Amino acid sequence: MKKTLLLVSLVIFGCKPTSRLLSESSTKNPQTPVEVTYKVKENAVAETLKYLTSDELEGRETGTKGMVKAADYLEQFFKDNKVRPYFKSYRDTLFNFKEPAYNIVGYLEGSDPILKKEFVVISGHYDHIGIDKKGLNGDFINNGANDDASGTTAVAEMAKYFSITKSNKRSVLFVFFVGEEKGLLGSKHLAKKLKAQNFNLYAQFNIEMIGVPMKRDYLAYITGFDKSNMAGKINEYTGKNTIGFLPKEAEYQLFYRSDNYSFYDVFKVPCQSVSTFDFENFEFYHHVSDEFKAMDIHHMTSFIQELLPAITQMANTPTHEIHMN
C-alpha cells in the first residue's frame, strides 16, 4: 500500500453517518447466495506467496531485477492456467524508470455474446519497496508479504478459478500492477491506456493487504465504503456479513491510496479495494519483517474462498447491480 497511507492526518468523515454505513454493511440478503463448489487449496496459496516473498526477489522494487523475476513468475502463472494476454503480450510496459517495468495483464473472455463486451477488473500490485540500506538485525530486504504479495496471490487464485470453471458471462481482466509504491504509476498508466481504447468497465475489485485476519464480526472492508453499493451487494452475493465498515478506512481516506483510485478517476464507475489490514492486526507495514512467516495462509485461503461467490456474480449479473451512490 502506498507509503503516504500512514502519514495522512485526521480527516473529516464522509457525509453519511457511521450508523447508516454500519447498517448498510449488514444488508439483509434478498437473493439466494451463489453456490461455489470449487475449493481454493492452501498449498497453492502458499506456493505463490512463498515465491513472491522470497529473498531472491529482493523486495520487488519497481524497475529492479527482482521485480522482473516476479513479473516472469506471474506471466508464467497466466500461461499455465490458460489466461490469455489482453495485449499482444502479457506485459504493459512503463518507461518511468532506469529499466522497463511491467504491469502483467491477462484476461478471460466472457461466455455471453452481449455481456462479454463488458469487463470486471480484478487486480492487486506485485511491487514493493525493495532493499532497506539500514536494515534490522541483519535483514535488509522488505519482502512485502502482506503488502501486497497477499493480494497478488488472491488475484492469481481468482484467475485460476475462472479459468477452470469458465463461469464468467462478462469478460474478466486480471491485472498485477507495478509502481503502486511509486505513486500508483502502473494503474494510472493502464487506466489511461484502456480508456483510450474505449474499454467498457463495469467494476474493479482491487485486493490490498489480506495476509492476516481482523478480529471483527466481518471478514474484510472495502475502501470508499459509502461511494457505491458494492459492500452491500457482496454481502448479498455471499450470504454473509463479509464486508463491513472500518472507520479507520474513512479516516485515512484509503480509497485514494491504492490502485482502485486510478481506475475510478478515469472511468467513474465502482472501483474499490478490499483489505483485512485494520491498523491493529499487523505491525510490520513497510518493514523488513513483512515476510511469508508472518502471513496466515489458512485465513488467506478462506478469504479467497468466501469472495468467490461475489466475484462470480459481478461477472454474471444481467444488469449493473453494483453502482455508484
Amino acid at residue number 212: V
Report whether 61 contacts 67 (CB < 8 A).
yes
- Could you give the CA distance from residue 70 to residue 229 in angstroms, rounded to a whole number? 34
Instruction: Indicate the length of the chain as a whole number.
Output: 325
pLDDT grade, residue 18 (50/70/90)?
very low
Strand partners, 220: 243
Which residue range is the domain that position 220 belongs to? Answer: 3-8+17-314
Residue 91's pLDDT is 98
Q: Is residue 148 part of a domain?
A: yes
Report whether 130 contacts 59 (CB < 8 A).
yes
Q: What is the largest CA-CA distance in the chain?
A: 57
pLDDT digits (tens, 9 = 90+) for 52-80: 999 999 999 999 999 999 999 999 999 99
Q: Is residue 272 part of a domain?
A: yes
Residue 160's pLDDT is 98
- How is residue 243 written as a grid cell? 464486508
Q: Is residue 325 part of a domain?
A: no
pLDDT grade, residue 27 (50/70/90)?
very low
Residue 1's pLDDT is 65
Q: Is residue 322 part of a domain?
A: no
CB atoms within 10 A of CB 68: 17
- Could you give the CA distance from residue 312 to residue 67 in angstroms, rounded to a whole number? 30
Q: Is residue 319 part of a domain?
A: no
pLDDT digits (tens, 9 = 90+) for 113-125: 999 999 999 999 9
Q: Which residue, among 127, 133, 142, 129, has the nearest Cα to 55 in the 3D structure?
A: 142
Secondary structure of residue 105 in the 3-state scheme: strand
pLDDT digits (tens, 9 = 90+) for 73-129: 999 999 999 999 999 999 999 998 889 999 999 999 999 999 999 999 999 999 999
Q: Which residue, among 296, 273, 278, has the nearest Cα to 175 in the 3D structure?
A: 273
Residue 2's pLDDT is 57
Mean of the pLDDT values across residues 206-233? 98
The residue ranking higher by pLDDT, 293 or 20, is: 293
Report whether 171 contacts 116 (CB < 8 A).
yes
The residue ranking higher by pLDDT, 5 or 165, is: 165
Pairing of strands 271-275, 201-207: parallel
> Which uninterrupted H or E stretch holds 130?
strand 130-136
The residue ranking higher by pLDDT, 292 or 136, is: 292
> Which uninterrupted H or E stretch holds 174?
strand 171-177
Confidence check: pLDDT of 154 > 90:
yes
Q: Is residue 283 part of a domain?
A: yes
Tally of domains in the chain: 1
Residue 30's pLDDT is 54
Mean of the pLDDT values across residues 226-244? 98
Residue 179's pLDDT is 97
Residue 96's pLDDT is 87
Report whether 242 contacts 220 (CB < 8 A).
yes
60: left (phi over 0), alpha (psi -120 to 50) or beta: left
Confidence check: pLDDT of 241 > 60:
yes
Question: Buried b / exposed e across 153-170, counting CB within 10 Å, b at 16+?
Answer: bbbbbbbbbbbeeebbbb
Residue 79: which CATH number? 3.40.630.10
- Could you give the CA distance from residue 204 to residue 261 in angstroms, rounded to a whole number? 10
Confidence check: pLDDT of 13 > 60:
no
Confidence check: pLDDT of 186 > 90:
yes
Averaged pLDDT of the chain: 92
Confidence check: pLDDT of 12 > 80:
no
Q: Is residue 307 part of a domain?
A: yes
φ, ψ dihedrals at 139, nearest 5°: -105, 125
Q: Is residue 120 part of a domain?
A: yes
CA 224 to centroid of chain Cα atoms: 14
Q: Which residue, among 40, 42, 170, 194, has the nearest Cα to 116 in the 3D structure?
A: 170
